[in-house]
Structure 1
Amino acid sequence: MRTRGTRRLGRLLLASHVGLALLLCALLLATGAGTIRAALQDRARAQVVQAAAEGLARLEDQRRDLRVVALLLSERPTLQRYLRQDRRGEAAAFVETFRRSAGVDAIRVERGGEVYAAAGAALPPDMDVAGLHGTGDGGFWLLQPQAMEGPADARVVVARRLGSDALGALGDGGAVQVALVDPQAAPAGDDPLRRSYRHVQATARAETAASRAQDILRIEPVRAAGGGVEALVVASRAHRAVVAEGMRWLVAFAVGSLLVTLAAALAAVWLARRIAAPFAQVAASAERLGAGDLATAVPVPAADLAEPQALSRSLESMRLQLRAATATERAQREELDSVLESVGDGIVAIAEDDTIQYANRPFLALVGREAADVLGQAYPRVLPPAADAAGAGAGGRRDPFVEARRLGLAQARCRYAVDGRVRSFVVRSTAPPGGRQVAILREETGAEAAQSMRDAILANLSHEFQTPLAAQTAAVEMLREHVREGGDAVAARLADALYRSVLRLSQLVENLLDSVRLDSGEMRLRREDVDLPALVGEAVELMRPLLEQRDQQVQLDLPAATRRLVGDRQRLFQVVVNLLANANKFAPDQSTIRVELVWGADEVALWVEDEGQGLPPLRDRADLFAPFRRAPEQEPSQRGTGLGLAIVRAMVERHRGAVVLAEPRRGRGARIGIALPLEPA
């Protein structure tokens, strides 16, 4: 079945073949046009170069001819005698006769700076320098003066007038011509061509250029007697002549290309019909499969093409496999439905928009509804949170399970209003790919309710302890300062001992409160720039009284930050304090605790190494980070709650980091590190 906008394979093949043939023809024309154009331009350049060289050679021949004429005239004894005897009439007649026989246009005899005799065309008085001079009407004078050997103050000036075609020309309908151009008469308004004129005039080197009309020009310098450039010989060929010649070549080339295209189109028609027929048969079989017809076999087309035959065989194999897979999937679905229905806990599948897509019978029994009233409904509407649930406020109720999903928790305790009464549920959730989420619900047992009550009591006690401990810590600090100023050593030791006890008690309460927050999912992290070297320094100063009690030294290696670290400064401060407290507790008196920062490309590592008994065997190291786990046979007299390293791991993982255990670098002891990711550069 064809849909709107689709095309038949035969027509597509025909169009593609004809299109490729036309494209090939166009490419050939484009390539041929470029090649012909380049060849014609190269030919035109060669012609203008040759014409300019020949014109320059003719000009040099004219110059040599004038020099010979001027030299012969200056050496004639008759003219010298007329000058000595001051016979002007005879001298003028002699010069006119000589001009006609020499074939020049003008001769002027000068004596004492004045014209003594003249013949032919009148030359301007200021035209007395050898070389080329313009006439103002497009022509030029070629002038050659020569001093006479007779009278010292006499000389002859021989001139020949040159027209625009005096140096030769190229034909082709007058499109190519050679003209003599004065150096100062560069074309106006054509900057590139004007620059070429000036460049040749300045460097005395020939140059090939093009005008704005794309006429090709060859500019040859004409050197003066003094060595400079006195004029330019320009040979040009009109662009229209080159284009006309190229069009004749292209017409012949296009006729041949069109004949090739026509032959390719005829071959494409035959080939398209031969290819499209078997594929059309395979497409019809594929449409039947797409419509759900798994009973009809896929026939192999009677064609000598391997591809449609292989495709039809693949479709037949796919049909058989799909029919078998459909039967298997139907059986597995029925089996899975029976398993889910027999589970005692409620199971519900929730989409990304919080709508329920699946619910088993135990879940329907828990909520007291039918499947039609649950499927497609929003989860908070089916199980509305109780008014006294955590997070419910005056502005509305927040579902604890939804909050747990947002925080990434696998389990949450939720209180829902079901059948007009508040019931407690334990919800475990998973997040499979695709955005759907499966939740398993059951009513809370007595042991779980007791544990929840214990966590609430611990949280309240820890919170209530913080305020008096903070006031007591401030009072003890003031007492220490007062006692130290009094000079009573015994009282100072007692005040220090009291301050250490308050500090340890505050640390234990903070760890206990953090553990409750972590278990209940109430731990929130801020995102702010953290100066980790400064934070470690502050943690060491906080732990200084406990370190001084056991005469322990802290060796710091804290290089400056090279990348940004973003996290919760307060929580990271607690992590460093717990690591230092762990080292302080397990390291012996008068030992050294080493703290080292290592900045990498993508993460920063903080290492704390002590000189204690070291870590337990590998099989027991998992207990290091378990809450309320201790090793009485290894733990010293400073007993703890077993929460320090557990809180360290939990907070570091919340920062998308990891806790690392390594062998100590200096003998025995423990080496514990944390790795935190850095912001991209």
Structure 2
Amino acid sequence: MRLYEWMFRTRLSERLMFSFWAVVIAMLLLVGVPDLFLVRQELHHQSRARLDQGARASRALYRDRQEALADLAALLASRPAVNEALERGDFVPLGDYLSEFYAAANLDLFVLVAPDGEIIARSSAPTTWGNTMPPGLRPLPARRATYVANLPGGPAWLIAAVPVFTRDGTVAGQMLVGMLLDQRWVERLAEETGLDHSLILDGQRLATTASDTLALPIPADVWGRVSRGQAVETTIERGTTLMISRLVPLPGPNNEVHAAYEVLLPTSAVRAAIVRVFVLLISNALLAALVTAGFARWLGHRVAAPMERLSTAAVAMGHGDLTTPVPTELGPIEVGRLANSLEEMRARLAAATDQLRAEKARSESLIASLHEGVVTVDEERRVTSFSPGAELILGLPRQQAIGHLWREVLDLPEGSTRRWGEPDDSKRHKVSIVTPGGREVTLAITTAWLRIPDESAPREQVHVLRDITEEEEISRLKAYFLANISHEFQTPLAALAASIELLRLQFKTLSPQDRNELMLSIQRGTRRLENLVDNLLEGASIQAGHFRVHPAPMAFSEAVDEALLFMEPLLQMRSQRLELKIPTSLPDLHGDARRLTQVLVNLLSNASKYSPLGSTITVGAAVEGDALRVTVSDEGGGIPNEAREALFTRFTQVATNDPRRRGVGLGLWIVRTIVEAHGGHVGVQSAPAGGTSFWLTLPLTSASTGNADGESAESQPGRAMEQVAADDPF
């Protein structure tokens, strides 16, 4: 558990006790930590000062040794005996002369070298040198220098080189005086400075007084800086001991650096002092914490008891209990004021909650009563509320929509709803979707951002859904109807105009047979227009509720004869034969002769239109019980099963690729309306191999004609198709 969580989940008395502890410890830390830091800084400063002092002492000892060697080399180089021996070329006495100095000075190297590097005389020198001084151990012939030199794999030398001149001022050679830099030299420096020293040659410790550091490597970057002539300070971990190391470069004969001496200072004493101060600080903090624990516990109990009772009352309010009063006679004055304020707040909250509940119930009732769906989404376009109207329209339970992306609920592609409700958006969208139940629905969606007074609250978008599937279907049917009716009028009118124009211009030159054909063409066009106008007028009458039948005794053959007279020119044009299977002894009907003629004309017109040229159309009639059954059969391609149920509805046609077979879509609807107005029924049968038979039944008695007003199921008010009548004169 985190500290702040513990602080806000514990009792007040415990928090007070912890607070006292925290204050005491904080005061100790505020005083002790700076002291600890200052002590640490002072100890480190003293360590650095001691290291600096040791480094300066080592540098002074090294320079003293350099100056002593340089003075001795200058003394030897200026001796007359050396000059005279060089002028005579007699070098034997020089060896004895140098040996005397070697014995007296207690040094490791006395050598006189010619300008070409040949050793002229020596008192001491490694036998591996032979008669020639190694080039890496001497400077330029005319140069005076004190330096550290070594050969690869060999020891290091501190050498003072002084040129030897003849009387005429030419350089006759160099006098080199030196001493070995080895373990003895390092121990001498450590003894005189009181600090460990090491001699480093080409990045490796050659000698040291801190034996456990001998095998430790010098980091490449550190030695790189030393080899460039920089003094470098670094740290060395020797087991559990940390040491401060300062490396001082020792220049070579030509100022190159191959050697350095190292001053080491352990930090164990500094660490021990810091640990002692830290332990003292912790001990004081623990002691102070124990002393304050008892006082904090006592004070916490005195203050927390009334607060506990207020806390219990507040928890009850948080759980919705706004009826139980808050106790106001509690402890100190401040607690009593808090209790009074809490009680006033409880009363106001109770009143406000009752009002909000009433408003919420009213709003939910209002939204539930709407036929439109109301959906709200957050800024990530995830659904936050889903009204009953939305459930009904989309066919989706509320639980399956809440929390999901709005486009996923509508099953739309990604990005399709992104701009809904933007400032430059039209705020009204029309989308077509498929509900989970498989129903195709067209929605009109109006989108807006909810206006929330609190600007810091998350913004939400509201979408109002309206199902316009039927409206869209009606609009589509209306457009289809207008397109078809214009075509239906245009074709016969064009044929009439052409025939009349031909008769007017060439009447005298045309043969009687041509004139007769043109007259028949005019008659067919006129009959076609007459049938179309009749259907349109009947459709408008039915839709307006003015359709009536006027039944009277009649013979069915009268309607058949009228229909044949009307259809004869059209059947001749398509070379189709009409076969009648009507008994001569049919009983009379009680019906509207003009309306029944229209029924037969519409059925024969459809049979002719959808049958091939030269085919046979059959009209049959027979008595079945108390009704007359009439059939009109053709030899066309048949009607699919799925299209038969909607065949007798308005604006419905059988799908065809032949534009000449398309019509207005009113004929069969009018047939059904007229037949049902007579109290009969209508239907269709179609064989898989082709051929369609439309049948209808008409009651033979007048008592059966109970719907003489002609209010068929689809012409009754309240149907969806009524909506077209308001905009369409047909």
Does the pair score TM above 0.5?
no
Q: TM-score, normalised by structure 1?
A: 0.44
In the superposition, the TM-score normalised over structure 2's length comes to 0.41
- Whose Rg is larger? 2
